[in-house]
Amino acid sequence: MIEVRDKQIVIDGEPRLVMAGEVHYFRVARDEWEQRLDLVVEAGCTAVASYIPWLFHELPDGSIDVTGATRPERDVAAFVDLCAERGLWFIARPGPFVMAELKNEGIPYRVYDEHPEVVPVGWDGREAPSRTVDYLAPAFLAETARWYDAILPVLAPRLQPRGGNIIGVQLDNEVGMLAWVTNSPDLTDHLLADLGRWVTEHRGTDHYPVGPDDAGWADLVRSPDESVAGRLRVDLGLFMRERFAAYVVALRELCEARDVRDVPFLVNIHGTESGSGAPFPIGISQLVSTYSGVPGMVSGSDHYLGAATSDTLTDVYVMNAFMDAVHDEHQPLTSLEFEAGTGDYSGGIESQHDPSTVELKTRLCVAQGNRLVNYYLLAGGINPPLEEAVGDGNDRLSFTGERHGTAAPIGPEGQRGFAYDATARTARAMTAQQEWLSRMTEEHDDVALGLVLDAYATEYHHPDSDLMTEVVDDLAGHRGAGQRRFLPRSLLLAGFRFGAVHLEERDPAPGSVLALATGRFLSAEVQQRVLDHVRAGGGLLLLGRLPERDLEGEPCTVLADGLGVRGGGFVHDNQHFFPSVVRHGWAAPGPEVRVGWRQEIDAPDGEVVLTDVDGAVCGVSVTAGSGRAVLLTAGLPSDPTLVERAMAHLGTRAAVYVDAPWPGVLATTTATADGQRAVHLINHSAVDMDVTLTIDGVDLPDGGALRLPGRSGHVLPLGLDVAGRRVLWASAEVTDHSPDHLDLAPGLDREGRTTVLLAAGTPVAEHPSYAVDEGPGGRVRVTGGPGALSLRFG
């Protein structure tokens, strides 16, 4: 039995932390399957995930082989059963789209040849440049049903609630991604008819100069003029959310009609681009209606961010916070494609990430509540030839060539790769602690990052529309984390632990501080919600240009008017002009800082906190009702000190304080419902750092003196029930435990030793490798090491 409840994945009554690895059976010779799966087990993973590509299983005559009759690697059941024999759960990803670096994204050529009407046209009636389809085209759904008729009877009896090992089924893959990356919305006649009905229902019959039933409707949508461009951009994004949701519902119904049910249905969220997570919420925006608040649905991220740096770890933190912001009270965070290895799929050695990358990103995700992490791609392989040559240069299943996943932790020929040991070390460490990590949620300070989801509905804009382009450029330049990731990176480095709030749907917590990045365009509804929050006694830290128009481009200054401010002159840097700003009032002292731009603010009743060097005001503190707002209208670099002072001015402080000699240490805490806690420390710099740690105003034992090795992460107990004993503190991570022993990793004490503080009266057997004495309040202190430590209980 599988349940998704309280943001946990509960299997047979036990919360689980699922550490999975993607292994493509269709890229591995049948007689090598067992060797790959043995390496998965050795790596500490508890599950295997795999796409099940329609393109691989359909033969040239249109028949479908999923039993291995024509090729042994097509025996899907045999692979799933081999996983079960090794105690591995299985996550099935049967498409219809699978991507996976496959041609046609995994759709058979025949579907396009026999049903040209499913191929979308986009702006100006041009055919879509990618191999996407009109998802709801009747012919495509009928073909998908035919594929499901073949593959789902293999999966249904192997579902975990029926005694099998399949714990989840992913519906399609990265729905809407191809249209986003090509800026080519699906504008088939079939879709335009649906759009017309949506417009009539939501906007009325006179919202556009041409009605949905008029001859000019298709031209208006496909080639909009400026008079309708603002409205159409908004409507198209909102409509497509509902259309994608209808598609996923159709797939789920096809599954349930074929007896695939009672396990979570998974939706994969795309959005990272060129190693950046900044555009990731575009995927949330496109797919939010497919899963948010929908029972039985679980969303999972794609993490393709390259090396673990200050940029990418900030992106990971924000991605997780934004995902959680649209979930209901039960839906957990997961990552269905978590980049493993060095990100090199086809060979060439263009990139080589430090192996610690996978560990640091995994640890941060788990700290934020990820319950499933699927390493993609854990094992590489060989792309088999297509059954029928198409004359495309290699005639293989994939466009990557013969070898695939050349830099995966497990290489194409089954060899241990560059990142195998680090991946295995990480998976084992997380699994060893799943008893509490599977139940813990991150503790947050009284601050939340604002998610304006409609600011990410920017995937479609006509290239010849000045208005559409202007709005999209402004939104993309200011949304989310703000320019230069100022808000979240400054908060993290100042010690703040934060979530996010979906401002189109929810109010910030009363009295909390809202951190919000804005540009010129922000809907009236969101502007009013933010203003109401401040007036009711909340705080606001705003970075960016003051909103002056709504998302359709119409004048809208609700927020500025309510705060008693007005936006003034705007200047941007160039090769001859280098705007710089200085702090004033409570924000001072501080260095003069070069910025990329600044907007002047007129705030007659405000307190000036930032000006440029010529005196133009670009930062103020103002009051509204019983609350306060700090407005910073300049392209600032990350500045933990400034943000810490702003937060104090707004009435909140971080509960975790790490005193480190250099930036690079991230810290957060997690807790279970019954009060067990842990602190998560990540040093993403390459420098060993001596740090002191204070939590909730209390120094940890021995002054919190810790030495964090460069490129390392750690989970330290703050009050864990382990092996039936309460561990109040340990300067090392738990690696194993049983009723009679507790094993810990090498300690982080500055002398290389380990300190463990146990509840008073805990019986500890004497051993020459450690000393036992009385700690504060009669508690039991154990000191041992250097090196790993194994305590024996008396």
Question: What CATH number does the domain containing 58 carry?
Answer: 3.20.20.80
- Residues 6+ away with beta carbon under 8 Å from 320: 301, 333, 364, 365, 368, 369, 370
Task: State pLDDT tens for residues 77-128.
Answer: 999 999 999 999 999 999 999 999 999 999 999 999 999 999 999 999 999 9
Are 643 and 703 members of one domain? no
Tell me how far apart the alpha carbons of residues 10 and 12 are, in angstroms, rounded to a whole number. Answer: 7
> Please, which residues bridge with residue 657 across strands?
694
Same domain, 397 and 514: no
Per-residue pLDDT at 151 exceeds 80? yes
Q: Judge if 416 and 458 occupy the same domain.
A: no
Looking at residues 650-654, what average pLDDT do you find? 98
b/e code 374-413 from CB counts within 10 Å (16+ = b): bbbbbbbbbbbebbeeeeeebebbbbbbebbbbbbbbbbe
Q: What is the pLDDT of residue 134?
A: 96
Distance CA 334, CA 154 (A): 25
CB 127, CB 50: distance < 8 Å: no
Last residue of some domain: 649, 678, 712?
Answer: 649
Is 173 a domain residue?
yes
Let me know whether 511 and 534 are in one domain.
yes
Say whether pLDDT at 228 is over 80. yes
Q: Is residue 614 part of a domain?
A: yes
Residue 772 is inside which H or E element, if any?
strand 770-774
pLDDT at 704 over 80: no
Q: pLDDT of 179-212, one tens digit each?
A: 999 999 999 999 999 999 999 999 999 999 999 9
Say if CB 525 and CB 551 are below 8 A apart: no
Question: Which pLDDT band, with edges at 50, 70 and 90, does 703 fall under?
Answer: low
In a domain, residue 231? The reply is no
Residue 348 pLDDT > 80, yes or no? no
Q: Are residues 277 and 338 in the same domain?
A: yes
Mean per-residue pLDDT for 69-77? 98
Q: Taking the mean position of all CA atoms in its chain, how far away is CA 127? A: 32
Q: What is the mean pLDDT of the chain?
A: 96
Distances (CA, A) of 177 to 399, 468, 620: 18, 20, 40
Q: Which of 46, 59, 135, 37 is nearest to 89 (CA)?
A: 46
Are 106 and 99 contacting, i.e. CB atoms less than 8 angstroms apart?
yes
* Residue 584 scores a pLDDT above 70: yes
Residues, the chain: 794
Are the C-beta atoms of residues 490 and 557 closer than 8 Å to each other?
Answer: no
Q: Which domain holds residue 301?
A: 2-108+141-149+159-179+261-440
CA distance 272 to 282: 9
% of the chain residues with pLDDT over 70: 100
Distance CA 398, CA 383 (A): 6
Are 419 and 457 contained in the same domain? no
The 10s digit of each residue's pLDDT in 276-317 is 999 999 999 999 999 999 999 999 999 899 999 999 999 999
User: What pLDDT, on the 0 to 100 scale, is given for residue 51?
Assistant: 98
pLDDT at 49: 98
* pLDDT band at 336; cut points 50, 70, 90: very high
DSSP secondary structure letter of residue 549: B
Is it the case that residue 723 has pLDDT exceeding 90?
Answer: no
Centre a 10 Å sphere on the Cβ of residue 771 and count the other Cβ atoms it contains: 12
Asked which of 335-349, 490-504, 554-568 is least confident by mean pLDDT, the reply is 335-349
Q: In whole angstroms, give the CA distance from residue 64 to residue 591.
A: 68
Same domain, 453 and 565: yes
Residue 96, preceding bond cis, omega within 30 degrees?
yes
**pLDDT tens figures, 602-643:** 999 999 999 999 999 999 999 999 999 999 999 999 999 999
- Check: CB of residue 138 under 8 Å from CB of residue 242: no
Whether 346 has a pLDDT exceeding 90, the answer reads no
Is 481 found in the same domain as 627?
A: yes
Cα–Cα distance measured from residue 360 to residue 367, given in angstroms and rounded to the nearest whole number: 11
State residue 347's pLDDT score: 78
Residue 226 lies in a domain: no
Could you say which of 632, 649, 666 is where a domain stops? 649
CA 333 remoteness from chain centre: 8
Q: How far is it between the farthest Cα atoms of the chain?
A: 89
Please state which of the ranges 291-300, 345-354, 424-433 shows the lowest mean pLDDT. Answer: 345-354
CATH number of the domain where residue 542 is located: 3.40.50.880
Statement to judge: residues 412 and 310 lie in one domain: yes
Helix ranges, 327-419 (H): 356-367
SS3 call for 365: helix
Q: Which amino acid would we find at residue 594?
A: R
Q: Are residues 501 and 642 in the same domain?
A: yes
Distance CA 326, CA 447 (A): 17
Peptide bond into 120 cis (omega under 30): no
The average pLDDT across 424-440 equals: 98
Is the model's pLDDT at 433 over the cut of 70?
Answer: yes
pLDDT, tens digit, 9 for 90 and up, residues 472-530: 999 999 999 999 999 999 999 999 999 999 999 999 999 999 999 999 999 999 999 99
Same structural domain, 609 and 719: no
Asked if the structure places residue 118 within a domain, the reply is no
Domain end point (choices 404, 423, 440): 440
388 occurs within a structural domain: yes
Question: What CATH number has the domain bearing residue 788?
Answer: 2.102.20.10
Q: Is residue 591 reached through a cis peptide bond, with omega within 30 degrees of 0 on the bond before it?
A: no
Regarding whether 532 and 507 lie in a shared domain, the answer is: yes
The 10 Å Cβ neighbour count of residue 193 is 14
- The count of domains in the chain is 3
Question: Is the pTM for the entire model greater than 0.85?
Answer: yes
Reply yes or no on whether the pLDDT at 343 is more than 90. Answer: no
**12 falls within a domain:** yes
